[in-house]
Amino acid sequence: MRYKLLLATNNEAKVREYRGLLQNLPVELVTSAELGMTTIVNEVGESLEENARLKAMALATKSQLVALADDSGLEVDALGGEPGRLSARYAGEKASDRDRINYLLARLKGVPWQRRSARFRCVIAIAIPDGKVGLCSGECRGFITFEPRGEQGFGYDPIFYLPELDKTMAELPLEIKNQVSHRGQAAGKVRQVLKRLGYDRTF
Protein backbone atom coordinates (compact mmCIF):
# COMPACT_ATOMS: atom_id res chain seq x y z
CA MET A 1 0.00 0.00 0.00
CA ARG A 2 1.34 3.41 -0.95
CA TYR A 3 0.38 6.58 0.90
CA LYS A 4 1.25 10.22 0.41
CA LEU A 5 4.26 11.61 2.26
CA LEU A 6 4.29 15.40 2.29
CA LEU A 7 7.71 17.04 2.02
CA ALA A 8 7.69 20.28 3.97
CA THR A 9 9.85 22.18 1.50
CA ASN A 10 9.51 23.92 -1.82
CA ASN A 11 13.27 24.04 -2.39
CA GLU A 12 13.47 22.27 -5.74
CA ALA A 13 17.03 21.04 -5.17
CA LYS A 14 16.09 19.55 -1.81
CA VAL A 15 12.95 17.95 -3.27
CA ARG A 16 15.09 16.36 -5.98
CA GLU A 17 17.45 14.94 -3.37
CA TYR A 18 14.62 13.49 -1.32
CA ARG A 19 13.01 11.86 -4.34
CA GLY A 20 16.27 9.98 -4.79
CA LEU A 21 16.85 9.28 -1.10
CA LEU A 22 13.37 7.88 -0.45
CA GLN A 23 12.73 6.18 -3.77
CA ASN A 24 12.73 2.70 -2.19
CA LEU A 25 9.96 3.48 0.27
CA PRO A 26 6.34 2.65 -0.67
CA VAL A 27 5.27 6.29 -0.55
CA GLU A 28 4.19 8.94 -3.01
CA LEU A 29 6.17 12.09 -2.30
CA VAL A 30 4.21 15.32 -2.66
CA THR A 31 5.07 18.93 -1.90
CA SER A 32 3.06 21.80 -0.45
CA ALA A 33 3.11 23.53 -3.83
CA GLU A 34 1.72 20.45 -5.57
CA LEU A 35 -1.16 20.40 -3.08
CA GLY A 36 -1.79 24.12 -3.42
CA MET A 37 -0.85 24.74 0.20
CA THR A 38 0.65 28.07 1.25
CA THR A 39 1.36 27.33 4.91
CA ILE A 40 4.34 29.31 6.18
CA VAL A 41 6.01 28.09 9.35
CA ASN A 42 8.16 30.51 11.30
CA GLU A 43 11.36 28.75 12.32
CA VAL A 44 11.50 30.12 15.85
CA GLY A 45 13.02 27.04 17.46
CA GLU A 46 16.34 27.20 19.28
CA SER A 47 17.70 24.08 17.58
CA LEU A 48 17.54 22.11 14.35
CA GLU A 49 15.39 19.54 16.15
CA GLU A 50 12.83 22.13 17.27
CA ASN A 51 12.55 23.73 13.84
CA ALA A 52 12.16 20.39 12.04
CA ARG A 53 9.47 19.37 14.51
CA LEU A 54 7.61 22.67 14.12
CA LYS A 55 7.51 22.40 10.34
CA ALA A 56 6.50 18.74 10.26
CA MET A 57 3.70 19.15 12.82
CA ALA A 58 2.29 22.23 11.10
CA LEU A 59 2.16 20.54 7.70
CA ALA A 60 0.75 17.26 9.04
CA THR A 61 -2.02 19.10 10.89
CA LYS A 62 -2.88 21.29 7.92
CA SER A 63 -2.81 18.55 5.29
CA GLN A 64 -3.90 15.53 7.39
CA LEU A 65 -1.05 13.65 5.72
CA VAL A 66 2.17 12.19 7.05
CA ALA A 67 4.67 15.06 6.76
CA LEU A 68 8.46 15.08 6.60
CA ALA A 69 10.46 18.20 7.36
CA ASP A 70 14.14 18.73 7.87
CA ASP A 71 16.30 21.44 9.27
CA SER A 72 19.94 21.45 8.33
CA GLY A 73 22.88 23.54 9.35
CA LEU A 74 26.56 24.08 8.73
CA GLU A 75 28.62 24.27 11.91
CA VAL A 76 32.11 25.76 11.53
CA ASP A 77 34.47 25.11 14.42
CA ALA A 78 36.50 28.31 13.99
CA LEU A 79 33.25 30.30 14.25
CA GLY A 80 32.07 28.61 17.43
CA GLY A 81 29.53 26.47 15.56
CA GLU A 82 28.11 29.24 13.39
CA PRO A 83 26.06 29.54 11.30
CA GLY A 84 24.25 26.44 12.67
CA ARG A 85 20.47 26.70 12.72
CA LEU A 86 20.76 30.15 11.12
CA SER A 87 22.58 28.80 8.04
CA ALA A 88 19.86 29.77 5.57
CA ARG A 89 19.64 33.30 6.99
CA TYR A 90 23.31 33.86 7.83
CA ALA A 91 23.79 36.70 5.35
CA GLY A 92 20.25 38.07 5.69
CA GLU A 93 16.73 36.93 4.88
CA LYS A 94 16.93 37.77 1.18
CA ALA A 95 20.49 36.52 0.62
CA SER A 96 21.28 34.09 -2.20
CA ASP A 97 23.43 30.96 -1.88
CA ARG A 98 26.31 32.97 -3.35
CA ASP A 99 25.76 35.76 -0.80
CA ARG A 100 25.88 33.28 2.08
CA ILE A 101 29.02 31.62 0.75
CA ASN A 102 30.78 34.95 0.29
CA TYR A 103 29.80 36.07 3.77
CA LEU A 104 31.04 32.87 5.38
CA LEU A 105 34.34 32.99 3.49
CA ALA A 106 34.81 36.59 4.59
CA ARG A 107 34.26 35.56 8.20
CA LEU A 108 36.99 32.93 7.76
CA LYS A 109 39.49 35.23 6.07
CA GLY A 110 42.97 34.48 7.41
CA VAL A 111 41.93 31.24 9.11
CA PRO A 112 44.41 28.48 8.09
CA TRP A 113 43.33 25.19 6.56
CA GLN A 114 43.81 23.08 9.69
CA ARG A 115 41.37 25.31 11.58
CA ARG A 116 38.64 25.29 8.92
CA SER A 117 37.00 22.06 10.10
CA ALA A 118 33.22 21.93 9.95
CA ARG A 119 30.26 19.63 9.86
CA PHE A 120 26.91 19.54 8.12
CA ARG A 121 24.03 18.40 10.36
CA CYS A 122 20.55 17.36 9.31
CA VAL A 123 17.58 16.58 11.53
CA ILE A 124 14.48 15.04 9.96
CA ALA A 125 11.12 15.16 11.71
CA ILE A 126 8.23 12.99 10.60
CA ALA A 127 4.78 13.89 11.93
CA ILE A 128 1.42 12.22 11.58
CA PRO A 129 -1.90 14.05 11.94
CA ASP A 130 -2.65 12.66 15.42
CA GLY A 131 0.33 14.57 16.80
CA LYS A 132 3.03 11.89 17.00
CA VAL A 133 6.48 12.97 15.81
CA GLY A 134 9.65 10.96 15.24
CA LEU A 135 13.14 12.36 14.73
CA CYS A 136 16.30 11.10 13.06
CA SER A 137 19.56 12.81 12.24
CA GLY A 138 22.81 12.59 10.32
CA GLU A 139 26.06 14.49 10.07
CA CYS A 140 28.98 14.80 7.70
CA ARG A 141 32.43 16.18 8.60
CA GLY A 142 34.75 18.12 6.35
CA PHE A 143 36.54 21.44 5.84
CA ILE A 144 35.62 24.85 4.45
CA THR A 145 37.57 25.65 1.26
CA PHE A 146 39.09 29.03 0.45
CA GLU A 147 36.90 29.42 -2.64
CA PRO A 148 33.86 27.68 -4.19
CA ARG A 149 34.36 24.55 -6.28
CA GLY A 150 31.79 22.62 -8.30
CA GLU A 151 28.41 23.31 -9.88
CA GLN A 152 26.22 20.62 -8.30
CA GLY A 153 24.15 20.80 -5.14
CA PHE A 154 23.02 23.97 -3.40
CA GLY A 155 23.60 26.04 -0.30
CA TYR A 156 27.12 25.74 1.08
CA ASP A 157 27.96 22.64 -0.98
CA PRO A 158 30.61 24.43 -3.14
CA ILE A 159 32.78 25.22 -0.10
CA PHE A 160 32.30 22.02 1.93
CA TYR A 161 35.28 19.77 1.23
CA LEU A 162 35.30 16.03 1.92
CA PRO A 163 38.91 14.84 2.46
CA GLU A 164 38.11 11.18 1.84
CA LEU A 165 36.76 11.99 -1.63
CA ASP A 166 39.04 14.97 -2.38
CA LYS A 167 35.99 16.88 -3.61
CA THR A 168 33.50 19.43 -2.39
CA MET A 169 29.86 18.45 -2.08
CA ALA A 170 29.19 20.48 -5.22
CA GLU A 171 31.65 18.38 -7.23
CA LEU A 172 29.81 15.13 -6.51
CA PRO A 173 27.15 13.51 -8.68
CA LEU A 174 23.83 13.46 -6.83
CA GLU A 175 23.88 9.70 -6.29
CA ILE A 176 27.29 9.92 -4.59
CA LYS A 177 26.33 12.95 -2.53
CA ASN A 178 23.24 11.12 -1.29
CA GLN A 179 25.44 8.27 -0.04
CA VAL A 180 27.73 10.44 2.07
CA SER A 181 25.80 13.59 2.98
CA HIS A 182 24.23 14.51 6.31
CA ARG A 183 20.80 14.44 4.64
CA GLY A 184 21.51 11.03 3.13
CA GLN A 185 22.49 9.61 6.52
CA ALA A 186 19.38 11.00 8.18
CA ALA A 187 17.11 9.82 5.34
CA GLY A 188 18.48 6.30 5.77
CA LYS A 189 16.71 6.19 9.15
CA VAL A 190 13.29 7.32 7.89
CA ARG A 191 12.00 3.78 7.45
CA GLN A 192 12.59 2.97 11.12
CA VAL A 193 10.87 6.18 12.21
CA LEU A 194 7.82 5.42 10.10
CA LYS A 195 7.65 1.98 11.68
CA ARG A 196 7.78 3.47 15.17
CA LEU A 197 4.92 5.79 14.21
CA GLY A 198 2.76 2.85 13.23
CA TYR A 199 3.41 2.56 9.52
CA ASP A 200 5.19 -0.79 9.74
CA ARG A 201 2.28 -2.43 7.94
CA THR A 202 3.52 -0.89 4.69
CA PHE A 203 7.07 -2.24 4.85
User: Among all residues, which ones are annotated catalytic?
Assistant: 71
User: Could you tell me how many helices (H) and strands (E) the chain has, helices first?
Assistant: 6, 8
Q: What is the dihedral of CA 57, 62, 65, 67, to 10 degrees?
A: -30
- Does residue 139 contact residue 185 with C-beta atoms inside 8 Å? yes
- Does residue 67 contact residue 6 with C-beta atoms inside 8 Å? yes
- Does residue 66 contact residue 89 with C-beta atoms inside 8 Å? no
Report the relative pairing of strands 3-7 and 27-31 from DSSP bridges.
parallel
CA R_g for the chain: 17
